[in-house]
């Protein structure tokens, strides 16, 4: 009965605050952030597990957004999610937009499982592998068998459950998001009414999402925070790509520790790659604010020094340098470095902790000064770009 399923959801939501309560002696600001995270997690679960869970009438939904973060979200990325099933045929169509990288991925399993090993990438294609029209028209069929007419096609295996579209933005000021729709093409018609049994199934999956997926992200965050302070682990891109990670992307994930009055300098030799991203996240596995603050930088936004190296500066106060990553008052948090199609793999960065007042001496002498007015203009552009990116879904 739907009433029993509803009660199970209510219990799961009530217990979910344990993710926050399990961190002892949290400052009030971080506790508030954690409680908001739980609400965001539930909100995304409602979208993915309940509202957009019908494979007979699929539609794209943002499963992650600036106000709905989880799973160590990537600030350069706009994520679109849709439910599919084997035995049906679908069409994704629209305009590609101008995002630096666009990838369409068909997957098995479900994020609600809370078990990475249960997720499987069935197939994926990025924009350069698709036959786009003269104005960026995109048209991809998803089905068990390729249609004799040819065209772009991705297979649906027997255990297919969802499609994930990722768009990576490099030049936030100029690049425009795609305009995409997904529809079923083998049995078009009116969307069916919601059956009570279907709601029971969807609510049960929402309980899974809150309890099991929420537990997974908490365990992963604790694992990275438990590493040596200011360190990362480089992950095999092949293993990630097999389990719903972006194909050809190498991840270097770890933590930062930065007291007030300090700066953490993260230095690396960036490889030749299609896209590079550095971002900070909190203990709840959600990115720091990347619209109102400079919580992330990508290869287009960051400045490389004359020696070719990239030096990022984590600090709570604006140090007046180009590559500042705003720690947002969080003395410890997560650091995520992502390298797409990196030649030779991801580098191992070096970390140095220096007093903020001596930071200039730890950087090359020609490091530019970013004035308060220049920083304010940067932040205004970031906010406008993120707002523009999120429209339409």
* In the predicted structure, residue 17 carries a pLDDT above the cut 80: yes
pTM reported for the whole predicted model: 0.95
Q: Are residues 173 and 101 in the same domain?
A: yes
Dist. CA 294–CA 290, nearest whole Å: 5
C-alpha 89/C-alpha 288 separation (Å) is: 39
Same domain, 195 and 75: yes
Q: What is the CATH number of the domain that holds 23?
A: 2.60.120.1600
Q: What is residue 369's DSSP assignment? A: P
Instruction: Tell me 176's DSSP state.
Output: -
Which residues make beta-bridge pairs with 126?
103
Do 159 and 24 share a structural domain? yes
Q: What is the pLDDT of residues 200-237, one digit of tens each?
A: 999 999 999 999 999 999 999 999 999 999 999 998 88
How far, in whole angstroms, is CA 10 from its chain's centroid?
27
In a shared domain, residues 158 and 229: no
Using DSSP bridges, classify how beta strands 249-257 and 275-281 pair: parallel, antiparallel or unpaired.
unpaired
pLDDT of 39 > 70? The answer is yes
- What's the rounded mean pLDDT across residues 299-315? 97
Q: For residue 126, is pLDDT > 70?
A: yes
Identify any residues that bridge with 324 across adjacent strands, giving them in sequence order.
313
Q: Which pLDDT value is given to residue 255?
A: 98
User: In this structure, are 254 and 367 located in the same domain?
Assistant: yes
Identify the domain containing residue 327 by its residue range.
221-390
For residue 148, the model assigns a pLDDT of 76
Shared-domain flag, residues 170 and 227: no
Is the domain of 156 the same as that of 82?
yes
Q: Assess contact for 334 and 229: CB atoms under 8 A.
A: no
Q: 145 and 257 share a domain?
A: no
The Cα 8–Cα 208 span in angstroms is: 10
Q: Is 377 left (phi over 0), alpha (psi -120 to 50) or beta?
A: alpha
- Choosing from 188, 218, 248, the residue where a domain stops is 218
- The 10s digit of each residue's pLDDT in 270-280 is 999 999 999 99
Domain termination site, one of 218, 250, 285: 218
d(Cα 69, Cα 268) in Å, to the nearest integer? 28
Helix (H) or strand (E) holding 122: strand 120-126
Supply the pLDDT for residue 391: 75
Q: What is the pLDDT of residue 316?
A: 98
Q: What is the pLDDT of residue 137?
A: 96
Residues 336 and 267 in one domain: yes
How many C-beta atoms lie closer than 10 Å to residue 131's C-beta?
Answer: 11
Each residue's pLDDT tens digit, 99-113:
999 999 999 999 999
Residue 1 pLDDT exceeds 60: no
Phi-psi region at 138: left, alpha or beta (left = phi > 0; alpha = psi -120 to 50): beta
CB 123 within 8 A of CB 103: no
Q: Which pLDDT value is given to residue 369?
A: 97
- Contact criterion met (CB below 8 Å) for 325 and 297: yes
Domain count, the chain: 2
Q: Report which DSSP code applies to 190.
A: S
C-alpha–C-alpha distance, residues 125 and 39, integer Å: 33
Whether residues 168 and 240 share a domain: the answer is no
**Rounded mean pLDDT, 321-326:** 98
Mean pLDDT of the chain: 95
In 3D, which of 223, 82, 91, 232 has the Cα closest to residue 154?
91
Judged by average pLDDT, the poorest of 32-46, 236-250, 373-387 is 236-250
- Cα–chain center distance at 139: 24
pLDDT, tens digit, 9 for 90 and up, residues 335-386: 999 999 999 888 999 999 999 999 999 999 999 999 999 999 999 999 999 9
Same domain, 190 and 266: no
Tell whether the model's pLDDT for residue 129 goes beyond 70: yes
Residue at a domain's end among 218, 250, 265? 218
Report the percentage of the chain scoring pLDDT > 90: 91
Is 234 found in the same domain as 188? no
Asked whether the predicted pLDDT for residue 153 surpasses 90, the reply is: yes
């Amino acid at each position: 009965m739907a009433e029993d399923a509803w009660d199970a959801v209510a219990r799961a939501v009530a217990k979910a605050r344990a993710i926050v309560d399990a961190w002892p002696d949290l400052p009030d600001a971080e506790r508030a952030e954690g409680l908001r995270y739980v609400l965001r997690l539930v909100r995304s679960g409602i979208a993915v597990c309940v509202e957009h869970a019908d494979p007979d009438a699929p539609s794209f939904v943002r499963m992650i957004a600036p106000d709905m973060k989880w799973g160590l979200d990537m600030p350069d990325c706009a994520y679109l999610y849709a439910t599919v099933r084997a035995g049906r045929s679908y069409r994704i169509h629209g305009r590609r937009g101008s995002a630096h990288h666009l990838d369409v991925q068909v997957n098995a399993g479900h994020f609600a499982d809370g078990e990475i090993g249960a997720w499987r990438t069935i197939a994926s294609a990025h924009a350069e592998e698709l036959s786009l029209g003269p104005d960026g028209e995109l048209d991809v069929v998803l089905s068990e068998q390729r249609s004799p007419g040819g065209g772009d096609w991705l297979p649906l295996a027997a255990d297919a459950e969802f499609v994930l579209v990722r768009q990576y933005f490099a030049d936030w000021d100029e690049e425009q998001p795609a305009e995409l729709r997904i529809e079923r093409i083998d049995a078009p018609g009116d969307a069916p009414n919601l059956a009570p049994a279907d709601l029971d199934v969807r609510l049960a999956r929402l309980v899974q999402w809150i309890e099991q997926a929420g537990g997974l992200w908490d365990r992963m965050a604790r694992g990275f925070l438990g590493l040596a302070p200011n360190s990362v682990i480089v992950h095999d891109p092949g293993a990630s790509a097999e389990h719903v990670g972006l194909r050809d992307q190498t991840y270097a994930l770890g933590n930062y520790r930065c007291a007030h009055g300090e700066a953490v300098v993260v230095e690396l030799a960036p490889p030749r790659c299609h896209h590079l991203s550095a971002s900070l996240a909190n203990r709840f596995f959600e990115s720091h604010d990347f619209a109102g603050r400079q919580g992330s930088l990508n290869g287009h936004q960051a400045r490389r020094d004359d020696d070719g190296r990239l030096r990022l500066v984590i600090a709570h106060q604006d140090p007046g340098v180009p590559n500042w990553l705003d720690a947002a008052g969080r003395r410890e948090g997560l650091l995520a470095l992502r390298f797409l199609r990196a030649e030779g793999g991801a580098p191992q960065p070096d970390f140095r902790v220096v007093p903020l007042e001596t930071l200039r001496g730890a950087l090359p002498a020609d490091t530019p000064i970013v004035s308060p007015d220049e920083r304010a203009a940067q932040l205004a552009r970031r906010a406008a770009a993120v707002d523009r990116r999120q429209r339409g879904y």
